[in-house]
Structures are given as C-alpha cells and as structure tokens.
Chains A and B, each alone.
Chain A
Amino acid sequence: MQMKEKLSPFQTAILVYLTQSGVTLFSLPRLVAEAFGTNGWIGLIIISFIVNINMILIWLVYKMSKGKSMFEIIAIFPKWITFSFCVFIAVVWMLLGIMVILKFSMIIKVLFYQNVSLIYLLSMSYILTYLLLKKDIYQIAKATVVLFYFTVWTVFLLAFHLPEFSFIRLTPFIFKGDTDMLKGGLSIFTALLGYELSILYVHKIDRKPLRSLLVGNSITSVIYLGVTFVSYGFFSFEQLLREMYPVVTLLGYISFPVLERVENFTFSVFGLKVLMTIVMYLWGTKELIQYQFKRIKTNFIVMGILIIGFSVSFVPKVIKDVDQWLTYITYAATAIAILLPIFLLLTILTSKILNRKAANE
C-alpha cells in the first residue's frame, strides 16, 4: 500500500517550489541589485532558465535509467566510493538545512524578538522539522500542499505596493551600476537551490515528472520575479542597495484598516515556507544516511541529524558568520546540483555501454 503511493504532479510542483523558496527571499531584491545592477530582475529570468536546464538533466537521469532511483544507479560502484560520495552530499545538505534555520531564526531575532534566546527560536523550528521528518515523503508532500495554501496568499500582498510603483524608477539602464555578475549571480542561483533534491524523488512522481518539476521552478521564479520587479519600481535603485531586507520593508509597508505593520505576522508565515526548505534538505540527508546504514531505525537517524544540527547551530555566533558559512555551503550545494545529475548520466551511459559490450561478447 505504502509502496505504491506516488507523488502527484501538483504535489511535486509545490514541493519543488517550497523547497526552493527559502530564507534568501528576504534579501533577494538587494542581492539582485548588487549582482546585476539596474533592472536586475531580467537577470533572474536568465538564472531561472539555467535552473530549468539543470532540471532537464535530472529528468534525463530518470528517463535514461528507466525510473530507477539514484541509489539503484550508484549501486554499481564499490561500497567505499558510494559511501564517501553519499556522506559528502549528506553533510553539505545537512549543513545547508541547518544554516537556513539558523539564518531565519537570527533574522527573526534581530527584527522582532531581540531579547529572546536563540535556543527557543531554534527549538521551535526543530520541533516542526521533527514532526515532518519522521514521516515519509508522501506525508511530507501532503503537509506541503496545505502549507502552500497557507502561505501563498502572501504573494498577493504585493498588490498593496502598486500605488507606489513607478516605471520611471526602473530606469532604462540594463545591468548598470556596480555589478558583480559572477559572484552575485551565483548567490542568486543559490536562492533557487532546492530543486536538486528532486533527484531523490523524481522516480516517485506519478506522471509528467519533467513538467511538474518545471512548473515548480516556474512558481518560484514567478514569485521571485514579482517580488524583485515590484521592489525595483517601489524603491529607488540606491535605496534598494541600502535596504538590508527589502522584502521585510515591503511587508511592513502594508496596512489594513484593522491591523497594520503585519510584517512580523507575515514574516512568521514565511517561516513555514522556510521550514519546508529545511525539512526537504534534512530529508535528503536522511535518505542518504539511511541508504548507507540500512539497519539503523529511521527515527534514530532523524534524531541524530536533528541533534547534530542543533549543536552545530551554536558554532556560528552572528549573522555574518552564518552568511559566511552559507556562502561556502551553497557553493558546494550548487556544485552538487549541477554535477550530480551529470555524473549520474555518465554512470548510466557507461554502464549501458558496458552491458551492451558484455551482451555482444
């Protein structure tokens, strides 16, 4: 019964979207402005396109291997290779997940809960993470869909900023100003990371895997693009460069007749989105570790990951440290995202050729 369950295309799309959309969103317009300069939102489209190509690679892996999972593909290697391979990816993903929690908790502490110890904020996220992580991917996907509905309305809040939006502020200059295309571009690419986890569940998708992956990425891209575009017309360019978290400022500008300054509420709602990023990364870690240590109970692995994560969370002291860590980890994660599917593709191809040779002989 459980084995036959499949991820529906819609669930997959939502899963991809919620994994992608993470803590970077809050500073994304500034990052884009720093990286691409004026009218940097066009750059987002390019990066989203690169992600799409990457997704096609993942889909190719699925297609070429005829629905095998990643573990079945790498099983042809000797044990020690797969072991170090899996452990490396697991560590990167785990650290990424942990740093994302940490960053979010730190931002929330700086902005809204200055006098609260970080331990409390972290344990809240870890409780939620644990509750989801002890379930399998289908259950996670189910929760994801509800969380999606619960958070997606925040996008429509952008309508509140339209009266202040002005096309003149966009300027006719494209990619001008102090730009840092490569490094900045990479940092924006990391904002779209999260789709690479689909390599672990692409074979569990019910039908139309490629389309659902691409739709997921499109949702993320459209939302990122919308936020960035509105920011470019809402803020003046120099102001945008100086806003630490432009999206928080955007949220703070909203005012309802009965409630205003809802930014801390909506920011917490965004927390649930960030939660899914964390859960999916730690889920990836869990899957990898589980593959290596089949005898250990899943629950112990989950606990282990969370306890390690909790302890690692206290190593970086301030947001600056976390940013530093995040930079390196996301570089590693980016490398994994691009190289892993290529590597798997090569593996499939060579094993096919070898098989054919063996059959011919």
Chain B
Amino acid sequence: MNKFIIILFVFLVTGCAEQRIIDDLALINAVGYDLTDNEKNPLKLTVTFPIITKDGKYDRKTIMVEGKTSKEAREKVRFKTNYKLESGQVRVALFGKRLAKEGLLPNLHSLVRDPSIGTRLKLALAEDEASDVLLLQIKNEGQNATYLEQFLTKINRENFRTNYNIYQFLRDYYDDGIDPILPVFKVEKNNIAYNGIGLFHEDKLVEILKPSEASYLFLFREEMKQGVFLEQIDVGKEEQASIMLNYELKNHHIEIPSTPSKSKKASIYIELIGDVVEYTGKDDVSDPKIQRKIEAIITKKINQEGKKLIMKLQKLQVDPLGINRYVRNKMNYNEWKALDQYKSYQDMNINIETKVIINSSGKWK
C-alpha cells in the first residue's frame, strides 16, 4: 500500500504548477484607462511595470495601447514586452475623466473578476488623461505607481478618508444609501499632484470638488478621526486672520428625525477639539475669551461653508456622506424600496450643527 502512495507521490512531483518566477515577469503595478476618439478602439490602456536594467538598476517601462475592451487591450500589451505579463501586483488603477463620466463599472467588473488582482487595488481619477499621469517621467522619483500608491495612502492617513480601493468603491457603489468618491490627480509642472475629489452618482463622475471644498466634505464624513482645519476667518471689522487647527473629531453623528412627513430633515452633528497651530491675528489666542470668540467664528464658518457644500451635493444628486443610509435605517423595508432616494435627498433639509472647542494654543502663549 505504501508503494501506491510513493507512486502517486512521484506522479505528483512530475506535475508542477505554472511557474511564475518573479524575475521573468512584467509585474504591472499601475494601469490607466482612458477613452479615445477612435471609433474602433475606444479604450486606451496604459500599463507600467518595473524592470531591472542590464546594469542592475531598478527602472520602469510604460506601454500604451488602444483596444475595444480592457482585456483585449491587455492582450495587445502582451505583444509588446519580452516578459510574461502578470497583473497580481497592480497597485493603482487610474481612470481618465472622460471615461469616468461614462461610468466605471464595466472596467471595475473586469478588475474584480480577475482572481489575481487584489481587493486592495487603489483607484484614482486623472484630471485629464490617465495615460498622461502614468507616462510622466519624474526625475529621480522612480515608479509612478509607487509614487501614486504612497500618495493615496498618505492622503488617506492624513485627513481625506476616501473610497480609494476597489473593494471600498464597490461597497459604496452597491450600498443604496451612499455614493462613492475618488481622489483626483493631475500633472502639473512635471509633477503629479492631488487636485480634489471626484463625486460619483452611481458609477458616473459628475463633479470634481476643489481641494478646499473637499476638506469640508471630509469634516462631515464619519470615518475621519482627525485632521487639519485651515481657513481665513473674519476676526474683527475688516480684519482677516488665517488660522490652522489640528483637530480631533470627538463626535460625529447624523440624525434623522423620524417624522412621517414627506419632506425629510437631517442634522449632522460634529464636535471638534483642536489645537491652534497657526494664528495670524493680533489677539492673544491663549486668552480663553479670545478662544471662545474664535470658536464661535469657526463654528459659523463651518456651518456656512458646509451648508453651501451640501446644497451643492444635493443639487448634483450625489450623497458621499451617506445620509440616505441613515434615512434608510429609520424606515421600514417597503417604505424604503418605494422611496425615490435621490429625489427625496434633493428635497431634504440638511442642517449642520458644529461644536468647536479649542484645547490649547500650542506651546507658545
């Protein structure tokens, strides 16, 4: 009987899984999708992967092709490299603005369907063309993909908690009470820079928020725990000062009063505790009185700007704050299914209630 096992064992060893030795592979680390005017091949695919040059240096190669679908274009890329093309190391997928306006879902589906692509694949938008961002050769910066990935991780860590990976994007896409958002990058002066947040209605890009507006958006998103608040405020008559707060989001909740009336109301409560890092006004910020004054000014500012932003979101019919989820959780199932979500969202009266507490004025009086 043991002989039988040995024979089977030998048989096993004769077989072997398909080898993918890392140095024989083109490990794509970023892909870019764009729409072109070409009727026949409407999709432009840009891939970039690291190579080791003959003198042992770590370098990259970028290939751009046009094709009908993403997988067809990928087949074309295969003919353009001597390495075996593998997409298991894809870190970033960039989408051009035009493509994003048409809808991301078909491309996203082909990404999640592929078992070799991980669920932590980060997504981002390019202000113009994704290929521009990926083709850009920044001196001494190395891989664009690594640069973008680090950038995205940093953005996420600092204060802009975005729906940045494919799992999170799809999760919010499929959740009927929230809309996904994605960070936008653009090429400027031989550099890749963050340039705001793209708002999605379902899977279609509708608007790009400027970074200054976007920072208010993140104030109202629940996942954010701390951040930096930087704003010009009116301190006295005709007098402006710039203030910077390192804040901690102490409390955040969205309340929907459960009234049976048609027009819904919603209130967003946030509570910030912050340390003054910069203040250009003449007043002494360590004085509790002044602090209270500044607190009041900031609160007003946030309420004002926030209201403006939310009105805009409502007009665009995008709900990146997930207010509809709270609406849903207040209703029963049939009511919710019967509701025209975006219509009711548009008509909703959304209040912002902010509480700002200044904790200290730093280590200087």
- Chain A interface (Cβ < 8 Å from any Cβ of B): 38, 110-117, 119-120, 123-124, 126-127, 130-131, 134, 164, 168-169, 171-173, 176, 234-239, 242, 249, 252-253, 255, 260-261, 299, 303
Contact assessment for B5 and A131 in the assembled complex, using a CB-CB cutoff below 8 Å? yes
Contact assessment for B172 and A236 in the assembled complex, using a CB-CB cutoff below 8 Å? yes
Considering the complex, which residues of chain B in the window 1-56 have a beta carbon less than 8 Å from any beta carbon of chain A? 1, 4-5, 8-9, 11-12, 15, 17-18
> Which of chain A's residues has its CB closest to B18's CB?
A115
> Which of chain B's residues has its CB closest to A131's CB?
B5
Cα(A111)–Cα(B17), bound, Å:
13
Interface string of B119-162 (1 = CB under 8 A from A): 11000000000000000000000000000000000000000000
Nearest CB in chain B: distance from A174 CB, A = 9
Q: Given A123-B11, A127-B12, A252-B119, do A237 and B5 touch, yes or no (CB 8 Å)? A: no
Q: Is B315 in contact with chain A by the CB < 8 A criterion?
A: no
Contact assessment for B176 and A238 in the assembled complex, using a CB-CB cutoff below 8 Å? yes
Using A127-B9, A260-B118 as known contacts, list a sample of 11 further A-B pairs with CB atoms less than 8 Å apart, ordered by residue number in A. A112-B115, A113-B18, A115-B18, A117-B15, A124-B12, A168-B329, A169-B325, A171-B329, A238-B174, A255-B120, A260-B120
By a CB distance below 8 angstroms, the chain B residues around A134 are: 1
A117, A238, A261: the one contacting B175 at CB < 8 Å is A238
Contact assessment for A172 and B329 in the assembled complex, using a CB-CB cutoff below 8 Å? yes
Cα(A77)–Cα(B171), bound, Å:
58
Cα(A120)–Cα(B5), bound, Å:
14
Please list 24 pairs of residues, one from A and one from B, whose beta carbons are closer than 8 Å in the complex, sorted by A's number: A115-B18, A117-B15, A123-B11, A126-B8, A130-B5, A131-B5, A164-B168, A168-B177, A168-B325, A168-B326, A169-B171, A171-B328, A171-B329, A172-B329, A173-B332, A173-B333, A236-B172, A238-B176, A239-B173, A249-B119, A252-B119, A252-B120, A255-B120, A261-B120
Nearest CB in chain A: distance from B211 CB, A = 25
Q: Is B244 in contact with chain A by the CB < 8 A criterion?
A: no
Contact assessment for A168 and B322 in the assembled complex, using a CB-CB cutoff below 8 Å? yes
| Tally of chain B residues near chain A (CB < 8 A) | 33
By a CB distance below 8 angstroms, the chain B residues around A238 are: 174-176
Q: Is B170 in contact with chain A by the CB < 8 A criterion?
A: yes
Contact assessment for A252 and B118 in the assembled complex, using a CB-CB cutoff below 8 Å? yes
Contact assessment for A127 and B8 in the assembled complex, using a CB-CB cutoff below 8 Å? yes
Contact assessment for B8 and A120 in the assembled complex, using a CB-CB cutoff below 8 Å? no
Q: Is B269 in contact with chain A by the CB < 8 A criterion?
A: no
Cα(A236)–Cα(B4), bound, Å:
50
CB-based closest 8 A-B pairs = A236-B175, A238-B174, A239-B174, A115-B18, A176-B333, A120-B15, A173-B333, A111-B115
Contact assessment for A235 and B18 in the assembled complex, using a CB-CB cutoff below 8 Å? no
Nearest CB in chain A: distance from B2 CB, A = 10
Nearest CB in chain B: distance from A231 CB, A = 11
Q: Given A117-B15, A253-B167, do A127 and B5 touch, yes or no (CB 8 Å)? A: yes
By a CB distance below 8 angstroms, the chain B residues around A261 are: 88, 118, 120
Contact assessment for A110 and B322 in the assembled complex, using a CB-CB cutoff below 8 Å? no
Contact assessment for B17 and A113 in the assembled complex, using a CB-CB cutoff below 8 Å? yes
Nearest CB in chain B: distance from A121 CB, A = 9
By a CB distance below 8 angstroms, the chain A residues around B175 are: 169, 236-239
Cα(A265)–Cα(B17), bound, Å:
15
> Which of chain A's residues has its CB closest to B9's CB?
A127
Cα(A345)–Cα(B325), bound, Å:
52
Nearest CB in chain A: distance from B63 CB, A = 23
B12, B171, B328: the one contacting A235 at CB < 8 Å is B171
> Which of chain B's residues has its CB closest to A127's CB?
B8
> Which of chain B's residues has its CB closest to A243's CB?
B112
By a CB distance below 8 angstroms, the chain B residues around A130 are: 5
By a CB distance below 8 angstroms, the chain B residues around A242 are: 174
Cα(A169)–Cα(B18), bound, Å:
40
By a CB distance below 8 angstroms, the chain A residues around B326 are: 168
By a CB distance below 8 angstroms, the chain B residues around A127 are: 5, 8-9, 12
Contact assessment for A236 and B171 in the assembled complex, using a CB-CB cutoff below 8 Å? yes
Cα(A75)–Cα(B197), bound, Å:
75
Nearest CB in chain B: distance from A122 CB, A = 11
Contact assessment for A253 and B18 in the assembled complex, using a CB-CB cutoff below 8 Å? no
Nearest CB in chain A: distance from B5 CB, A = 6
Contact assessment for A303 and B1 in the assembled complex, using a CB-CB cutoff below 8 Å? yes
Nearest CB in chain A: distance from B45 CB, A = 22
Cα(A239)–Cα(B180), bound, Å:
13
> Which of chain A's residues has its CB closest to B336's CB?
A173
By a CB distance below 8 angstroms, the chain A residues around B325 are: 168-169
By a CB distance below 8 angstroms, the chain A residues around B5 are: 127, 130-131
> Which of chain A's residues has its CB closest to B1's CB?
A299
Cα(A235)–Cα(B115), bound, Å:
18
By a CB distance below 8 angstroms, the chain B residues around A116 are: 15, 17-18
Cα(A209)–Cα(B336), bound, Å:
49
By a CB distance below 8 angstroms, the chain B residues around A114 are: 18
Cα(A123)–Cα(B176), bound, Å:
46
By a CB distance below 8 angstroms, the chain B residues around A164 are: 168
Interface string of B233-267 (1 = CB under 8 A from A): 00000000000000000000000000000000000
